[in-house]
């Protein structure tokens, strides 16, 4: 059984692992969402370029969100 003083360290490690593993899913999820939305708009509006625009927009949104998460995580680390 872990000691009470060791427990917060273990939980903070698990929280950090969860936070940083989430970063790896942000960009692919945003790109896939942009792809599907672009394809749907292409089908609906009978165009052929919105899929590419959706992919680019999804990548940009993914990178912006990743940067926000990393800066938030580093700010949290410096406050400790």
Q: For 11-34, what is each residue's pLDDT tens digit?
A: 677 877 887 788 889 999 999 999
Residue 14 lies in a domain: no
Residue 56 lies in a domain: yes
pLDDT of residue 4: 54
- Domain, as residue range, for 32: 25-79
| Neighbouring C-alpha atoms within 13 Å toward the C-beta of 3 | 3
Neighbouring C-beta atoms of residue 22, cutoff 10 Å: 14
Express each pLDDT in 49-80 by its tens digit. Answer: 999 999 999 999 999 999 998 888 777 766 66
Residue 12 lies in a domain: no
Tell me how far the alpha carbon of residue 8 is from its chain's centroid: 26
Residue 9 lies in a domain: no
Under a CB-based contact definition with an 8 Å cutoff, are residues 71 and 80 in contact?
A: no
Indicate the DSSP class of residue 5: T
Could you give the angle at the alpha carbon of 14 between the alpha carbons of 2 and 28, nearest 5°?
Answer: 165
Residue 75 lies in a domain: yes
Instruction: Provide the domain count of the chain.
Output: 1
């Amino acid at each position: 059984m872990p000691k009470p003083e060791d427990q917060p360290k273990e939980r903070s490690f698990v929280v950090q692992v969860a936070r940083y593993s989430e970063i790896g899913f942000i960009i692919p999820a945003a790109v896939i969402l942009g792809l599907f939305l672009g394809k749907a708009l292409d089908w609906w509006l009978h165009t052929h370029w919105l899929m590419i625009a959706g992919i680019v927009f999804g990548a940009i949104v993914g990178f912006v969100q990743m940067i926000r998460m990393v800066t938030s995580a580093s700010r949290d680390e410096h406050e400790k």
